[in-house]
Amino acid sequence: MRVGIIGSGSWATALAKILTDNKKPVHWFVRKEAIVKHLQQRHHNPQYLHSVYFDTSLLTLSTDVAGVVAASDCILIAVPSAYILDTLQPLDKGAFKGKKVISAVKGILPQNNLLLNDYLAKEYDFPVSDYFTVMGPCHAEEVAAEKLSYLTFSGVDVTLAEEIATYYKTEYINTVVNNDVYGVQYAAILKNIYALGAGIAHGLEYGDNFLSVLIANCADEMAGFLKKVGIQHIEVGIHEEDPITHRKAANYSASVYLGDLLVTCYSLFSRNRTFGNMIGKGYSVRATQLEMNMVAEGYNACKCIFDMNQTVQAEMPIATAVYRILWQNVKPADGFKQIEQVLV
């Protein structure tokens, strides 16, 4: 299976490291020719994860996204959700025909409030049966440091998802497989919103006791939204079991749901937590964006979920407060006074 990667940020670089550590050749689309030349000459990404050095004999680097897609059987998309439309714009409508797509996107396309698989179905007539996701809990920085991490691969075709997962299994990466394509994507979107909230709380100098209650309530709120949009297996401690392998089916308390929420809310590597922390300390949204120079997916996601929830009608006071702080100029302290009243 010929693998292609679209994207050259920290997460794309970490996934490229995993693949090349397993001696898998990679066709890699990066936006800038300067990055291509640096990787070819210096063997590392000049902008992200500088400590990761590549065997460049395994890399076919290109700034031509159509060429990378054409040369690959399985395309891994690791681009911030806000830039996906521009990145894929050069592709013709049949570009993904006969291909497999793996989404490493932890956001929702803000231009139309669509998950990536729904966008591909609409614009490229791409079937969900050929669509897979790779989610955490997993920070790119810890992959670079080869600290033991877990990746969850989801696909309607679980057998093929298991085959794809073997490409990413290493001594420092364990893999988990499930069939909950929609659930893992919504959970990834929501955990970024809640990590913004955790960061704001930290910036406002709330303590660990409050933060633990906040995140526990975030988990409950996330489960409520998942249930409203039709996701199953969200009850803690209740698992269906495969009658042959006796493996438990994942529910929302598993690593890809609750685990990813926890690490994104607590870790100093979390860009969403960092973004929120700066907001809590008094930075404006624009100043925070300029200072970080990195995309915090939760910023657009909180508006997308707020808009979506006008139809879904889930109880989401925490996510709503985060949205109002970031998009409606509610003062962080005032927003969190409102949150205090709903925590249980």
The pLDDT tens digits of the residues spanning 73-89 come to 999 999 999 999 999 99
- The tokens describing 53, both together, are 């050095």
* Fold adopted by 183-340: N-(1-d-carboxylethyl)-l-norvaline Dehydrogenase; domain 2 (1.10.1040)
Residue 328's SS3 state is: coil
Res 232: pLDDT: 78
Res 239: pLDDT: 72
Q: Identify which of 132, 206, 128 has the alpha carbon closest to the alpha carbon of residue 165.
A: 132
Res 240: pLDDT: 74
Residue 176 phi/psi, 5-degree rounding, is -125, 145
Taking only the tens place, the pLDDT of each residue in 246-269 is: 777 767 667 888 899 999 999 999
Question: How many C-beta atoms lie closer than 10 Å to residue 248's C-beta?
Answer: 13
Res 235: pLDDT: 73
Class of residue 257 by CB neighbours under 10 A (exposed 0-12, middle 13-18, buried 19+) = buried
Taking only the tens place, the pLDDT of each residue in 85-135 is: 999 999 999 999 999 999 999 999 999 999 999 999 999 999 999 999 999
**Which top CATH class is 3-179?**
alpha beta
- Preceding omega of 137 cis (within 30 degrees of 0): yes
Whether the pLDDT of residue 293 is over 80: the answer is no
Domain ranges in the chain?
3-179, 183-340
Whether the pLDDT of residue 236 is over 90: the answer is no
Residue 44's SS3 state is: coil
